[in-house]
């Protein structure tokens, strides 16, 4: 399969990361946001997350589409990565964390409160978001955590949940789902290739409300939203080599805790 090549000009400024593990180099060139694999196969995981979402009921403007690419660095070195098209336009991006800061608080006061259950944290966080923006994003947020559980995303920190503010009309919206690359055991520094997947899977910790994926998954009580059969077919037919990301996803698809996400229910497996 032919993979697009993106050249990084000498003059392009790398973008500084904000995350815990985030040492991925990134650039913005025109309306393309490009990020380079740093710890393993982040771009394969990112592209696979796009495939999953494209087999869901989510409209395509609810998630960022990522495309695999080869990156040609200014010194001529070729590395792997992925890119997406700008989703911000003229809107201002405000991370979940920044939203709380702007209102003289922090998400920590909720997420690290040991007296609260995961459900209570979720309700308090959602109520605060609603008071700051007017948005009720309970369903979208729980859906995001369900997706994260499916792909074992270990990087859903409070800067990877984003709002968009329209300064002209003074209105808020939730940004599309983005930055799903630290998932499906893509961090090969932490999850060594060759080790049994079943053992590695148990080491991955969720964010931001609970380190347990199943606890965060249990917040979702909406309708099923993933076409599992379609996903399996697309996965089998894809010419792209997803490597271990695919193996991990297939093993997740067989886990009965995700039953509530599959649209066709019992006839599905």
- Interface positions with ligand ATP (CB under 6 A): 15, 17-19, 22, 24, 26, 33, 35, 64, 84-88, 93, 155, 159-160, 178-179, 181
CB of 64 to ligand ATP, least distance (A): 5
Residue nearest to ligand ATP (CB): 22
CB of 38 to Mg ion, least distance (A): 13
CB of 44 to Mg ion, least distance (A): 17
State which residue, 133 or 160, has the beta carbon closest to ligand ATP: 160
Give the chain as a DSSP string. Answer: ----EEE--TTPPEEPP-SSS----EEEETTEEEEE--SB-HHHHHHHHHHHHHTBSS-GGGB---EEEEEE-TTS-EEEEEEEE---TTSEEEEHHHHHHHTT--THHHHT-TTS-HHHHHHHHHHHHHHHHS---HHHHHHHHHHHHHHT-----TTSSEEEEETTTTEEEEPPB----S-TT-BTTTS-TTS-HHHHHHH----SS-S-HHHHHTT--S---B-HHHHHHHHHH--S--THHHHHHHHHHT-GGGGGGBTTGGGG-
Within 146-185, the residues that bind Mg ion by CB under 5 A are 160, 179
CB of 181 to Mg ion, least distance (A): 9
Q: How many residues bind Mg ion (CB under 5 A)?
A: 2
Residue nearest to Mg ion (CB): 179
State which residue, 163 or 220, has the beta carbon closest to ligand ATP: 163
State which residue, 160 or 218, has the beta carbon closest to Mg ion: 160
CB of 18 to Mg ion, least distance (A): 7
Residue ranges that bind Mg ion, judged by CB under 5 A: 160, 179
């Amino acid at each position: 399969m032919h993979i697009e090549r993106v050249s990084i000009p000498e003059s392009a400024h790398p973008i500084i990361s904000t995350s815990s593990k985030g040492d991925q180099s990134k650039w913005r060139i025109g309306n393309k946001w490009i990020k380079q694999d740093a710890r393993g196969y982040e771009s394969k995981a990112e592209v696979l997350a796009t495939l999953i979402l494209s087999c869901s009921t989510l409209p395509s403007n609810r998630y960022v589409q990522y495309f695999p690419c080869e990156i040609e660095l200014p010194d001529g070195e070729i590395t792997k990565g992925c890119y997406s098209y700008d989703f911000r336009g003229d809107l201002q991006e405000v991370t979940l964390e920044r939203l709380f800061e702007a209102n003289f608080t922090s998400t920590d006061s909720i997420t690290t409160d040991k007296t609260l259950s995961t459900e209570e944290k979720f309700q308090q966080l959602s109520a605060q978001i609603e008071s700051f923006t007017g948005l009720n994003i309970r369903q979208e947020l729980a859906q995001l955590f369900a997706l994260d559980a499916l792909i074992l995303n270990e990087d859903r920190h409070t800067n990877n949940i984003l709002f968009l503010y329209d300064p002209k009309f003074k209105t808020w919206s939730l940004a599309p789902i983005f930055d799903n690359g630290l998932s499906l055991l893509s961090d090969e520094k932490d999850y060594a290739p060759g080790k049994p997947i079943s053992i590695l899977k148990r080491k991955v910790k969720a964010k931001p409300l609970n380190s347990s994926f199943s606890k965060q998954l249990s917040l979702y009580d909406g309708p099923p939203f993933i076409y599992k059969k379609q996903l399996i077919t697309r996965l089998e037919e894809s010419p792209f080599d997803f490597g271990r990301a695919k193996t991990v996803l297939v093993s997740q698809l067989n886990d009965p805790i995700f039953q509530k996400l599959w649209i066709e229910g019992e006839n599905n497996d």
